[in-house]
Amino acid sequence: MAWQTRRGGAAVTEVYTLAELLQTAELRLRLRAGSPESLGRAVAGAHSIEVENPARWLGREWVMLTTGLRLRDDENAQRALIRELDAAGASGLGFAEGVVLAEVPTALLEEADRCCFPVFTVPIETPLRDVTAVVHSSLLSRELRDARRLASVQHYLVEALKEPDMRGAVLHRFAAIMDVGVTALDASHASEFGSGPGEQELRAALAGCPAIPHDLCIGNWKAHAAPIPTTSGWTGWLVAARRHERPDDAVVKSATQSVVSLLEAADGLDRAARQQDRVLRAALLKALIRAGGNPQTLNARAAVFGLELSKPSDVVVVASRRSSESFDRLREKFEAALPPCAAVLSAVHDGVLVLLIQSSPAVLTDILDEMLASAPDAIVGIGRTVESVQDIERSYRDARCATEILRRSPSESRRLLHFEQMDIGAVIISEAGASRVQSRARPILSFLRNHELLAEAVETYFEEKMDVIRASERLFLHPNSLRYRLRRVEEVLGLSLKDPADITNLYIAMLSERETPDAVTAT
């Protein structure tokens, strides 16, 4: 069989080899067959066996020890033994001379040379148990060394969690200390450190693989891939790759699993930091909306997040057109669409998402377009431009008025309204505050609240630009029935729907009731 050596050039391997076993002076072993390259074979254990089909009792890379008890005068059995061990991936055969046979049979050595399979002799003065003991003690010392090395590697990697870019630092340190090419794959991105297989090659090799560790051969690379759990359900992968000619290193595989755990820890710390940042930004924005703090203190707090409130900013309110039940999903979509810049504050306040954004008009447009595209049920109101702390509370009222106008608009295609596009009545309410308007219009509002059909008639009449025919069609009424209801409103309230002053009073009163939420009135 073709054997891949574990020795790369003159480099010292990280495995116990047949050469090191033969170099143990006290055993006095001598190589009788096999090429010099075969001395680089790894030795994972040694076992003395005298039964038929010995490969059943040997693991791969083990050495078989025998006295030749069942091989006497049987050339076919001697040749078959070499072929069996070679096919099973054994590392070599140790033959005890002078116990059963005076020397190694010629047929056995000929077959070993033909297969390039190493055979060595054990002198009668050396018990086979001593060979087994040397192998096992050497392996144990290497396992202890690997354990100490892995502990050192893990300590070095954990230190990366102190750096600002924890994930990048962990991967960079892993690539450097293990001298491997490292690639971290997620659904749409690859982070590469050092040289290794290309991203597309790795994705192709891992396509359809279950989420368990895998050993891969990609071109001239040997790679170990470990799955990285993600919150999205898509399996990420951490791949450590090295050239084929380099020796295998069990520590690399163990360290890869440690890196996966550290990446999970780094992601958890990042999420906690982002959540804390989000809470602090939300608390600041709510304080700015309430306009109850010291302006200098609020300016200083805003500066921490990259906002200069003396420069133009925009207050944006995002709401759901139909209800607030789906608003949490809207908030998640919209916050995911925000650009990774510091000059943005966001908070959920009174059932809507409030944003304070300091950016160019083009960037603001791009943000809002992406938001609206991601949530078809969303509506957006933008307040007047903010140029000081004192402007924010008023701009917030503007934006809330705008979303209420959009919510009640018969045209669902209209999803964004700016303060500059609001009619004068809405601007008056935003300026004065809905509570002040409602206190002056209490008799009108009290009557309309108690007479829903009459209120609906007036509202539809105004929405259809005082066209009785179109308004009656919307209400499924005869035009005369609508005229009757409008006359009742005039009689009870003492108004005339032909008098501009009376129309203005009634329209603004109803506007303060319908198009400004209670939260905006508390100013």
**Final residue of a structural domain among 93, 117, 139:** 139
In CATH, what number is assigned to the domain containing residue 89? 3.40.1390.20
| 274 domain-assigned | no
Is residue 71 located within the same domain as residue 92?
A: yes
Report how many domains make up the chain.
Answer: 4
Per-residue pLDDT band at 98 (split at 50, 70, 90): very high
Of the pLDDT bands very low, low, confident and very high (cuts 50, 70, 90), residue 245 is low
386/456 same-domain check: no
What is residue 334's predicted lDDT score, i.e. its pLDDT? 65
Domain contains 522:
no
Q: In this structure, are 166 and 247 located in the same domain? A: yes
Of 120, 139, 158, which closes a domain?
139
106 and 33 within one domain: yes
Instruction: Assess whether pLDDT exceeds 90 at residue 8.
Output: no
Last residue of a domain, one of 139, 162, 186: 139
Task: Specify if 264 maps to a domain.
Answer: yes
Structural domain includes residue 288: no
Q: Identify the CATH number of the domain in which residue 227 sits.
A: 3.30.450.40
Q: Provide the pLDDT for residue 246.
A: 56
What confidence category does residue 28 fall into, taking pLDDT thresholds of 50, 70 and 90? very high
Residue 409: pLDDT over 80: no
Look at residue 31 and tell me if it is in a domain: yes
Give pLDDT, residue 230.
66
Residue 121 has pLDDT above 90, yes or no: yes
Residue 276 lies in a domain: no
Q: How confident is the model at residue 341 (pLDDT cuts 50, 70, 90)?
A: low
Give the β-pairing of 119-122 and 92-96: parallel
Across 69-78, 89-98, 373-382, least confident range = 373-382
Residues 26 and 68 in one domain: yes
**Same domain as 38, residue 134:** yes
User: 21-39 burial string, b = 16+ CB within 10 Å, else e?
Assistant: bbeeeebebebbbbeeebb
Segment 480-487 shows an average pLDDT of: 90
- Domain containing residue 222: 143-269
- 108 neighbors 119 (Cβ within 8 angstroms): yes
pLDDT at 522: 35
Q: What is the pLDDT of residues 220-242, one digit of tens each?
A: 888 888 888 766 555 688 898 88
**159 to 154, 171, 192, 238, 413: CA distances (angstroms):** 9, 12, 20, 19, 54
User: 511 and 462, same structural domain?
Assistant: yes
For residue 78, tell me if it sits in a domain.
Answer: yes
Q: Based on the fold, state whether residues 385 and 480 are members of the same structural domain.
A: no
Q: Is 153 found in the same domain as 133?
A: no
Least confident of 108-112, 355-359, 437-441: 437-441
| Phi and psi angles of residue 226, each rounded to the nearest 5 degrees, phi first | -125, 135
Please say if the pLDDT value at position 264 is more than 90. no
- Tell me the CB-side half-sphere exposure of residue 331, using CA atoms within 13 A: 17
Is the residue at 12 inside a domain?
Answer: no
Q: What is the pTM of this model?
A: 0.55
CATH of the domain at 330: 3.30.70.270
Residue 521: per-residue pLDDT: 37
